[in-house]
Chain A
């Protein structure tokens, strides 16, 4: 899947060129990605499939600016991630992308509304404004009555919905979801996917969904991309 040069620059949400990611030491290097090139248009919904250990999460972390590629170029939401300063990269993570993880990654000591507020805290939004936004986001995922509950006082589905609210509260142009429904029963999974897709549709956002579920990939996304041993296959 090499990028087609005919695509208008403005329409490209993600462009990866020959991404290589090598973990570990020189003695025992682990090549998680071995040259991935990928182009995703704005508003496109992509499913990323592959066996365990094929490098899906690695790729997603690179796209989310959580990690640096060992080599290769990467543009996300109009930013060249190599060029961003550390400070801008932090801003990129809070404003441009929204990440959802299989294991929710909520802060246990904080209530749901505080968890949802967190990205806005680092973005420097004033308290009243961000409280309002967080409340609205939680209401839109159906948790109006769980604002002041802590993660350990809520079910997995509820926690994931909090995580979704947190990922989407800053209206990101790119939503990156790493097996968001992996820990949920099928009904709850459908609800959570519904929330994500709803957002993507409404804001014309780009979605990269990592999943093992062929059916979910087929019904919820426009295109399926497969990874095998750190390389794209299709």
Chain B
């Protein structure tokens, strides 16, 4: 038998039962559609997550913090709990008392992010870059007007920040000696008109970091303020702090209370402290974050009166002040060469005694969850296909029974068993082929409105604009859907085809 005939005959017999063929094929189409859609969305979501997490190298970053440690807690003498009580309660009280005792002479020490330690971090394998994050307060002077500001470090590559620049430009390099000022600060400094904003660019701005003397072991500050207040206030507060130990007698306190306070605010090691100041040319002016930009970091308030220095410049200034150099910085970000090495780097950082947080761990957990969900969906799709395969097996078996006589005639005129078997198997395969093609096509077409819908939902709920589609159709998805669908329908046709091959021509032809 010729190959073309082996293909034409199944098509012809499918064509004779148009409605039945259509209904069985519809089942297969549905299965293939669900399979294609779930594979596609799984792939698309995966890609979207990867894309989003690679944005700003998010997934390649490790954030490092100084670590607080409780040390020096020497063993406490046995605590005795008096009274009659249940052993459980006695134990609980004993533990609490013991902890209290221990914390009395415990010293909380901090492993700082000092300049040296930052250099050590930079030397770790796979670390490409160390970006110090500086958040500090200081004073600025433009001409003679002093103004308290918050000082932050910024990166020349921070796109979100670059978008907020309304005059001038962003930084050219992380070690550029230049400063960006907020529009409100500019306003405070008397730069009111838009035209003057342009005039501000290039003018030198003096930046001052007040010495942070660690000496009194306490500080006096006005807590409602976000930023430093003005210079007079600052100086006055320092005066209060400086005079406080000597003035303890003047308060209405008992002898013991005065003694306890004196002990508590005994000056620590004397640190050389002084005012650091430098003139930086203003390179640009930035606006405050709008609602949407601010959405991401809930809880923190915007520092509106602020300046931003390139991170290396900021670090340089910071470490020049002896008190700050002693304390180190509060946060640094390591950029790792490859995602694969991020966990490794985080472990090494922890090995140094510092705190490390990597987004990759969170991303990976997220990935696992999506994998589980979409894996489940794919299984459901597989089951849908299997169900439609049962439908095929059923209808084909019926058609074999109906066509017994025809099969008998074919056998009488020279059809071999394998011809008949082949014809029916091809019928199943054809249904699978058509079902897979239509199902894929439908999934593809449906992906556009579905993508728009999901996008609008994400936009509404978390105000995030996604790039690219959450449905993707790489060739392997098409291949998988075709292969699996055709395989399943062909297998479904196998049993009916055996039936067809076994038809006894004599019996089939005996009755009209």
Chain A positions near chain B (C-beta within 8 angstroms): 61, 64, 66-67, 86-87, 90-91, 93-95, 99, 101, 103, 105-107, 109, 118-119, 121-124, 126-127, 166
Within 8 Å of chain A (Cβ to Cβ): is B506?
Answer: yes
The 0/1 profile, CB within 8 Å of A marked 1, for residues 129-173 of chain B is: 000000000000000000000000000000000000000000000
21 contacts between A and B (CB under 8 A): A66-B411, A66-B412, A67-B505, A86-B416, A86-B417, A87-B418, A91-B416, A93-B412, A93-B413, A94-B413, A105-B405, A105-B409, A105-B412, A118-B409, A119-B413, A122-B410, A122-B415, A122-B419, A123-B1, A127-B2, A166-B413
Q: Is the CB of A66 within 8 A of B4?
A: no
The 0/1 profile, CB within 8 Å of A marked 1, for residues 415-431 of chain B is: 11111000000000000
Within 8 Å of chain A (Cβ to Cβ): is B5?
Answer: yes
A95 interface neighbour in B5, B412, B414, Cβ under 8 Å: B414
Q: Is the CB of A103 within 8 A of B512?
A: yes
The CA-CA distance from A61 to B5 in the complex, in Å, is: 27
The CA-CA distance from A127 to B506 in the complex, in Å, is: 29
Complex interface: chain A residues within 8 A of B416 (CB)? 86-87, 90-91, 122
Within 8 Å of chain A (Cβ to Cβ): is B16?
Answer: yes
Interface members, chain B 386-425 (any A CB < 8 Å): 405-406, 408-419
Report the minimum CB–CB distance from B501 to chain A (whole Å): 10
Q: A93-B413, A109-B16, A123-B1 are in contact. List 18 more A-B contacts (CB 8 A).
A: A66-B411, A66-B412, A66-B509, A67-B505, A67-B506, A93-B411, A94-B413, A99-B412, A103-B512, A105-B412, A105-B509, A107-B410, A109-B406, A118-B413, A119-B414, A121-B9, A122-B410, A127-B4
The chain A residue sitting closest to B407, CB to CB, is: A107
Complex interface: chain B residues within 8 A of A122 (CB)? 1, 410, 413-416, 419
The CA-CA distance from A123 to B5 in the complex, in Å, is: 11
The CA-CA distance from A127 to B16 in the complex, in Å, is: 21
Complex interface: chain A residues within 8 A of B410 (CB)? 107, 118, 122
Report the minimum CB–CB distance from B31 to chain A (whole Å): 29
In the A-B complex, the 7 residue pairs with the closest CB atoms: A94-B414, A90-B416, A122-B414, A119-B413, A103-B512, A93-B414, A122-B415
Report the minimum CB–CB distance from B249 to chain A (whole Å): 117
Q: Is the CB of B2 within 8 A of A124?
A: yes
Asked whether A124 and B509 contact (CB < 8 A) given A93-B414, A94-B413, A105-B412, the answer is: no
Complex interface: chain A residues within 8 A of B418 (CB)? 87
State which size class the interface on B falls in: 20 to 34
Report the minimum CB–CB distance from A48 to chain B (whole Å): 17
The CA-CA distance from A109 to B506 in the complex, in Å, is: 21
Complex interface: chain A residues within 8 A of B408 (CB)? 105
Q: Is the CB of B4 within 8 A of A91?
A: no
Complex interface: chain A residues within 8 A of B412 (CB)? 64, 66, 93, 99, 105
The CA-CA distance from A99 to B408 in the complex, in Å, is: 13
Report the minimum CB–CB distance from B503 to chain A (whole Å): 12
The 0/1 profile, CB within 8 Å of A marked 1, for residues 47-64 of chain B is: 000000000000000000
Q: Is the CB of A66 within 8 A of B414?
A: no
Complex interface: chain B residues within 8 A of A87 (CB)? 416, 418
Complex interface: chain B residues within 8 A of A109 (CB)? 16, 406
Complex interface: chain A residues within 8 A of B1 (CB)? 121-124
Report the minimum CB–CB distance from A68 to chain B (whole Å): 10
The CA-CA distance from A123 to B1 in the complex, in Å, is: 6
The chain A residue sitting closest to B510, CB to CB, is: A57
The CA-CA distance from A103 to B508 in the complex, in Å, is: 12
Complex interface: chain B residues within 8 A of A107 (CB)? 406, 409-410
Q: Is the CB of A123 within 8 A of B509?
A: no
The 0/1 profile, CB within 8 Å of A marked 1, for residues 30-42 of chain B is: 0000000000000
Complex interface: chain A residues within 8 A of B512 (CB)? 103
Complex interface: chain B residues within 8 A of A103 (CB)? 512
The CA-CA distance from A122 to B411 in the complex, in Å, is: 9
The chain A residue sitting closest to B13, CB to CB, is: A109
Complex interface: chain A residues within 8 A of B419 (CB)? 90, 122
The CA-CA distance from A57 to B410 in the complex, in Å, is: 19
Report the minimum CB–CB distance from B436 to chain A (whole Å): 27
Q: Is the CB of A123 within 8 A of B414?
A: yes
Interface members, chain B 466-506 (any A CB < 8 Å): 504-506
Report the minimum CB–CB distance from B424 to chain A (whole Å): 15
The CA-CA distance from A95 to B415 in the complex, in Å, is: 11
Complex interface: chain B residues within 8 A of A66 (CB)? 411-412, 505-506, 509
The chain B residue sitting closest to A93, CB to CB, is: B414
Q: Is the CB of B2 within 8 A of A126?
A: yes
The chain B residue sitting closest to A89, CB to CB, is: B416
The CA-CA distance from A106 to B408 in the complex, in Å, is: 10
The chain B residue sitting closest to A85, CB to CB, is: B416
Complex interface: chain B residues within 8 A of A86 (CB)? 416-417
The chain B residue sitting closest to A178, CB to CB, is: B509
Asked whether A101 and B414 contact (CB < 8 A) given A106-B409, A107-B406, A121-B1, the answer is: no
The CA-CA distance from A66 to B410 in the complex, in Å, is: 11
Interface members, chain B 1-50 (any A CB < 8 Å): 1-2, 4-5, 9, 16
Complex interface: chain A residues within 8 A of B415 (CB)? 90, 122
The CA-CA distance from A157 to B413 in the complex, in Å, is: 20
Report the minimum CB–CB distance from B418 to chain A (whole Å): 8
Complex interface: chain A residues within 8 A of B4 (CB)? 127
Report the minimum CB–CB distance from B511 to chain A (whole Å): 9
The chain A residue sitting closest to B414, CB to CB, is: A94
Report the minimum CB–CB distance from B2 to chain A (whole Å): 5
Q: Is the CB of B509 within 8 A of A101?
A: yes
Q: A61, A67, A119, A122 — which one has the most chain B CB atoms within 10 A of its CB?
A: A122
Complex interface: chain A residues within 8 A of B409 (CB)? 105-107, 118
Report the minimum CB–CB distance from B19 to chain A (whole Å): 15
Q: Is the CB of B414 within 8 A of A61?
A: no
Complex interface: chain B residues within 8 A of A105 (CB)? 405, 408-409, 412, 509
Q: Is the CB of B414 within 8 A of A90?
A: yes
Report the minimum CB–CB distance from B499 to chain A (whole Å): 17
Complex interface: chain A residues within 8 A of B406 (CB)? 107, 109
Q: A61, A67, A121 — which one has the most chain B CB atoms within 10 A of its CB?
A: A121
The 0/1 profile, CB within 8 Å of A marked 1, for residues 256-300 of chain B is: 000000000000000000000000000000000000000000000
